[in-house]
Amino acid sequence: GENVEQHPSTLSVQEGDSAVIKCTYSDSASNYFPWYKQELGKRPQLIIDIRSNVGEKKDQRIAVTLNKTAKHFSLHITETQPEDSAVYFCAASIQATGGSYIPTFGRGTSLIVHP
Amino acid sequence: NAGVTQTPKFRILKIGQSMTLQCTQDMNHNYMYWYRQDPGMGLKLIYYSVGAGITDKGEVPNGYNVSRSTTEDFPLRLELAAPSQTSVYFCASSYVTGTGRQETQYFGPGTRLLVL
Size of interface A-B (CB pairs under 8 A): 45
Establish if B30 touches chain A: CB-CB under 8 angstroms.
no
Chain B: residue whose CA lies nearest to A93: B102
Shortest alpha-carbon distance between residue A80 and chain B (Å): 23
A6 chain-B contacts, CB cut-off 8 A: 42
In tens, the pLDDT along B46-70 reads 999 999 999 999 999 999 999 999 9
Residue A98: the pLDDT is: 64
pLDDT, residue A89, reads 97
Q: Which of residues 11-30 of A touch B (CB under 8 A)?
A: none
A residues 42..81 contacting B (CB < 8 A):
42-46, 49
Report the C-alpha gap between B84 and A36 in whole angstroms.
26
Q: What pLDDT sits at residue B30?
A: 94
Lowest average pLDDT, out of A5-9, A95-99, B73-77, B91-95, goes to: A95-99
Q: What tens digit of pLDDT does each residue of B72-108 get?
A: 999 999 999 999 999 999 999 999 888 878 888 999 9
Q: Which of A42, A98, A107 sits opposite B42 (nearest CB)?
A: A107
pLDDT of residue A97 exceeding 70: no
Q: Which of A50, A59, A100, A109 should we substitute to test contact with B (largest number of B Cβ atoms within 10 Å)? A: A100
Q: What is the mean pLDDT of chain A?
A: 93
Chain A residues in contact with B56 by the CB 8 A cut-off are 98, 100
pLDDT tens-digit profile of B11-20?
999 999 999 9
Q: What is the DSSP string of chain A?
A: ---EEEE-SEEEEETT--EEEEEEES-TT--EEEEEEE-TTS--EEEEEEETT-SEEEETTEEEEEETTTTEEEEEE-S--GGG-EEEEEEEEEE-TTS-EEEEE---EEEEEE-
